[in-house]
Amino acid sequence: MLPPLSEYESLIYSLPDRYPSIRLSTLVVVRHGPTFAEVSGTIEFEGGVTLSVWEDLDFARGMIRGYSYSVSRAGERLYWYDPQPHPNDPSLASTFPHHRHIAPDIKRHRVPARGIGFDQANVPVLIREIERDLPPNRP
């Protein structure tokens, strides 16, 4: 279950303090009433890696109603996550409906999205993944 809205805001706004790999965060939490909010913006890492985030949050139900996460480097999209159901693809059943689009054929090549869900804060999971899988370019 998602933490309360005020805690989620604190989480989002403290990301640069918690993850030294973050160079800049433009993430904002926009409240749409006492229990609804939207998160949008980008997180920039060294080496030209950018995480774009959009979340539609329902704190009355303690869940993310919708999301889109995309990772790019120097303007080239590397992969993205979405919860669009693909019930006829048995390879995605383990994390249904959450999946990651990857190369080759990034639009149609999907793999399970481990660690991503509707009932948790996904952004820290994505940051740790970026830190692990996409070390910054070094001169």
| Residue carrying structure tokens 């006492």 | 34
Average pLDDT, the chain: 93
What region, left, alpha or beta, does residue 75 occupy, with left being phi > 0 and alpha being psi -120 to 50 degrees?
left
What pLDDT does 46 receive? 85
Q: What is the per-residue pLDDT across 26-47, written as a single tens digit (0 to 9) for each?
A: 999 999 999 999 999 999 998 8
Residue 135 has a pLDDT of 63
pLDDT of residue 134: 66
d(Cα 100, Cα 89) in Å, to the nearest integer?
A: 13
Strand spans (E) along 9-131: 22-25, 28-31, 36-45, 49-58, 63-73, 76-82, 99-102, 110-112
Answer for the pair 37, 59: CB distance below 8 angstroms, yes or no: yes
Residue 136 has a pLDDT of: 53
Positions in the chain whose pLDDT score sits under 50: 138-139
SS3 of 122-136: CHHHHHHHHHHHCCC
Please list the residues that pair with 118 across neighbouring strands. Answer: none
d(CA 134, CA 47): 9
Q: Do 51 and 39 touch, CB atoms closer than 8 A?
A: no
| Cβ atoms of residues 1 and 119 within 8 Å | yes
